[in-house]
Structure 1
Amino acid sequence: MEERLGQLTRLLAEARFIDLSPTIEHNMPKWPTHPPVIVDPTVTHEHDHYYCQTLVLGEHSGAHVDVPAHIISSMMDRTVDTYPVNMLFAPAIVYDLRTLDAKPGQRITAAQILQIEEQMGDRAAEGDIVLLNFGWQQYWKLDKEWKYYATNEPGFDEDAVKLFADRKVRAVGSDTIACDTPVQDGYEMKSFGHQNYWLPNEIFIMEMLHNLDQLPTRCYFAALPLKIKNGSGSPIRPTAIIV
């Protein structure tokens, strides 16, 4: 055990860590019907002789994970606090979808995914975490333009969603606000991942990831959700570990 711990310590000391989360800050982008993110400097040195902020935010704020209870009414017993602490620790594979130039409301197909896999010489396997780089971080804004990110994104068609479900991946994450769900001008189209294939099969969904363009095709992914009682999901601090 001591030898293995030493090996792990050396590997981590030599590894490169990439933060895949946006900063949690006041009025950051959010799903339109979710609570706003409020960060208030409630307690200050000037008034109270120490500093402490108050946070008000929904469970699906910033980089976050969805679990089955979020969408599947028959799985209300599968909340975030029921899963092990390492639920989001696994090898990850990054799909660079930017070359597809997908538009809001457009669905990426299974054939396109297979073509990308052929080009990169790799493919998602059982237990992997799939990271989808749509190139959508460019639309992350904190000013009045934030709504475009929240109300427009490409997604996946049913066969593309099923492709990853059939391979029994552990989780799928993206740099968009709703992962596989096409959205155009605020109109939300059917999500086969949330409703039919991923969450019903306990394949977790992560959204609003950042810095996916900094990753190689393969890395190790680690994120810790908060242990929220009966949580439909949780903010996470996702990290890519490159060795």
Structure 2
Amino acid sequence: MPTRDLSHPLDDDVTVYPGDPAVERAPAATHEADGYRVTEIRMGSHAGTHVDAPSHTEPDGGTLDAFDAARFAFDARLVDCSDKRAREPIRPGDLPDDPDADLLAIRTGWADEWGSDAYYDHPYLSEAAARACAENGCCVGVDALSVDPSPSARGTERDGEPAGVPAHHTLLGSERLIVENLTGLSGLPDRFELRAYPLPLPDADGAPVRAVAVW
């Protein structure tokens, strides 16, 4: 059974959403001083490859521990949107009419920009496209920082970009989970299982995942 890790490493160079905590690691115990090794890790709940709970944007939304673990193993359909340019919207016409899947794994190609300022200028899901996903019962995974436009590190925002996080509201308000910062989507089969189990943090608005494709 082939598998592929779709997760970015949680190293010190993790790209985080502007304003989110950076990932920091420091020795808490060492072989030399203590006879064993322990690492202290500090990070935000949306660091690296992660899943968003409805409570991320919805005041009355559920937290991750409200979902059974089985909800994080998705029947995924790959959608190639790698022809989209920087900060260009993904529209309903770019998505399949009848997804017949639990999750659309949207490949923008922006994972190749990980660690650079260009990563913030990813394509994004229009509110109408997010609504189409929600109405079709689909969660969304994306190889980009967010399903909504991110603040640009280079000042390249475009006129007409939506304010706030409308795609998040549309999806999470319908209890459609969002997986962000995927990588390695290129070359996957059109259908696969995406296993994206979050860390078991109580009352979590989101959590890092080890995202793995199985087919």
Q: Judge same fold: TM > 0.5, yes or no.
A: yes
- 1:103 and 2:86 aligned: yes
- The letter for the 1-side match of 2:152 is D
CA displacement 1:144-201 (0-9 Å, x = unmatched): xx3432x3221122221121111111x211110112x123625584333211x21011
- Structure 1, unmatched stretches of 5+, are 1-14, 118-122
Runs of 4+ in structure 1 displaced over 4 angstroms?
A: none
Q: What stretches of structure 2 of length at least 5 have no aligned partner?
A: none
Q: Is the 8 A contact 2:105 2:142 kept in 1?
A: yes
1:82 is matched by which residue type in structure 2?
Answer: A
Report the counterpart of residue 132 of structure 2 in structure 1: 163
2:25 counterpart (25, 36, 39):
39
- The number of aligned residues is 208
CA contact (8 A) 1:29 1:147 kept: no
Instruction: State the partner residue of 1:87.
Output: 71
Report which of the two structures shows the higher radius of gyration computed on alpha carbons: 1
> 2:118 maps to what in 1?
148
Counterpart secondary structure, 2:202: coil
2: CA distance between counterparts of 1:177 and 1:157? 15
Say whether the 8 Å CA contact 1:69–1:232 is kept in structure 2.
yes
Shift of 1:73: 1.1
Q: 1:54 aligns with which of 9, 21, 40?
A: 40
Deviation, structure 1 residue 74: 2.5
Any conservation in 2 of the 1:41–1:54 contact (CA below 8 Å)? yes
1:81 CA displacement? 1.3
The percent of aligned pairs where both chains have the same amino acid is 27
Counterpart-to-counterpart distance in 2, 1:176 and 1:241 = 21
- Are 1:178 and 2:146 an aligned pair? yes
Q: Is the 8 A contact 2:105 2:141 kept in 1?
A: yes
Amino acid at match of 1:164: C
SS at match of 2:74: strand
- Pairwise CA distance, 1:205: 0.5
In the aligned structure 2, how far is the partner of 1:233 from the partner of 1:163?
23
Counterpart amino acid of residue 93 in structure 2? A
Cα deviation, 1:54-112, whole Å, max 9, x if unaligned, reads 1101110111000111101132xx111111112211211011111x23222x2122123
Deviation at 1:215, TM superposition (A): 1.0
TM-superposed CA distance for 1:20, in Å, is 0.6
TM-score, with length taken from structure 2:
0.90
Tell whether the 8 Å contact from 1:27 to 1:38 is kept in structure 2 after alignment: no
| Greater helix content | 1
Measured on the aligned residues, the alpha-carbon RMSD in Å equals 1.8
